[in-house]
Amino acid sequence: MTAHAPADATLTAHALLLDMDGTIVNSDAVVERCWRRWAAEHGLDGDAVMKVVHGRQGYATMAVLLPERPMELNHEDNRRMLAAETADVDGVVPVPGAPAFLAALAGLPHALVTSADRALSEARMTAAGLPMPPVRVTAESVGASKPDPEGFLKGAAELGFAPEDCIAFEDSEAGITAARAAGMRVIGIGPRAAAHAPDVAVADLTSVRVEGDGTDGRIRLRITAAP
């Protein structure tokens, strides 16, 4: 059963771990262009492909869609896909509320945990006009893609907090599964997240207000339901 944010709910954590695509950056237009083109090249149904691409690294998506294919071919295709996505930022915009949300996190413990590589994350954050968190876990940082929890566990460790003291922000099934496997609470952003029972689901980041609490060092999140 999907959780939905009641009016004036409050959550606290020592640190926040943020997915990028679909969570703070809306890159759906680019993802659709690149992955539907890849689907057509491999004789796959574009709609079916789009149901599994979100949250995972490209090679992991390809392994799901073409399970008999040698993994080295997936990695080769993934390198080409990353180059194409990095060069294409047309339509990349911030998720509503993301600029104010990230501005409020300045100086507070938070990290980016994304399936994008470093170059792609820089291209999309720049295109969306968002500041890059000082701590980031990208594709190069991990040996396993989401839904494996490795990225979230590394992000928590780099920030110096136990996973249970962190809240993850995610938009996809793979990301929510990864954060839960890491032992974190999850705030789901957007319609994809709402379908996978995060602890709290909101339409976008306009529903989340960040407050630093000087008394106990915690980050306080005030969450309001959409009107």
E strand or H helix that includes residue 107: none
Note if 8 is an active site residue: no
Q: Active-site residue among 19, 148, 171, 199?
A: 19
Instruction: Please name the residues in contact with 24: beta carbons below 8 A apart, sequence gap of 6 or more.
Output: 18, 94, 95, 98, 101, 102, 128, 130, 169, 205
Return d(Cα 221, Cα 87) in angstroms, integer: 35
In which residue are the tokens 């494996």 written?
148
Q: In the block, which residue shows the tokens 């922000």?
A: 169
Active-site annotation holder among 21, 77, 165, 199: 21
Q: Give the pairing type, strands 208-212 and 110-113.
A: unpaired
Q: How far is CA 211 from CA 17, 115, 156, 165, 208, in A?
A: 16, 28, 20, 16, 10
Active-site residue flag, 28 = no
Q: Kindly list the catalytic residues.
A: 19, 21
